Amino acid sequence: MTKNRKEIEQEWLNCYGEMLPKHVHINYAKQYLNWYKKYGKFDKGTIRQLEKLIEDLQTGYQRDSIKLEIKSGTRFIREFKGKRFEVEKCDNGYKYNNKIYRSLSAIANEITGTRWNGKKFFGLI
């Protein structure tokens, strides 16, 4: 038997104690309700942990809190458009094609001809 939106809204209210948000599509609501029937609610501690993780991800906490330290002598190798590119970390920057660059982004821009996040281009993040 297929339930209409009114029936799904009532079931949602019974399970979650609040009205089904208007923006939630009926098919998603059915999936949530099936989850609820199978697993039940999360305890309050788990909900707090999930909310904290969501907040951290939205504010970039994880990304900004990790400081990447690259030691001199580290080599980065990247293949781009069928060509191999090699960069070496030096005390005063990054060496590519016998030239010193201040950042990996400058090298990535040189290689691609467009703006790139150097750490992303070389697979560090």
Q: Do 48 and 10 sit in the same domain of this protein? A: yes
Instruction: For residue 60, name the pLDDT band (cuts at 50, 70, 90).
Output: low
Q: Parallel, antiparallel, or unpaired: how do β-strands 93-96 and 83-90 relate?
A: antiparallel
pLDDT of residue 55: 78
Residue of 120, 1, 17 whose CA lies nearest to 9: 17
The pTM (predicted TM-score) of the whole model is: 0.48
Whether 69 maps to a domain, the answer reads no
Q: Is residue 64 over pLDDT 60?
A: no
Domain limit, last residue, from 45, 64, 83: 64
pLDDT of residue 57: 73
Instruction: For residue 63, name the pLDDT band (cuts at 50, 70, 90).
Output: low
Q: For a pLDDT cut of 70, what percent of the chain falls above it?
A: 91
Question: Which residues span the domain enclosing 116?
Answer: 75-121
Rounded CA-CA distance 79/57 in Å is 30
Domain limit, last residue, from 15, 41, 64: 64
Rounded CA-CA distance 113/108 in Å is 8
Whether 110 maps to a domain, the answer reads yes
Q: Which residues of 80-110 are buried (b: 16+ CB within 10 A; e: fewer)?
A: eeeeebebebeeebbbbeeeebeebbbbbbe
Q: Which residues of 24-44 are buried (b: 16+ CB within 10 A; e: fewer)?
A: eeeeebeeebeeeeeeeeeee
Q: Is residue 51 over pLDDT 80?
A: no
Whether 100 maps to a domain, the answer reads yes
Instruction: For residue 62, name the pLDDT band (cuts at 50, 70, 90).
Output: low
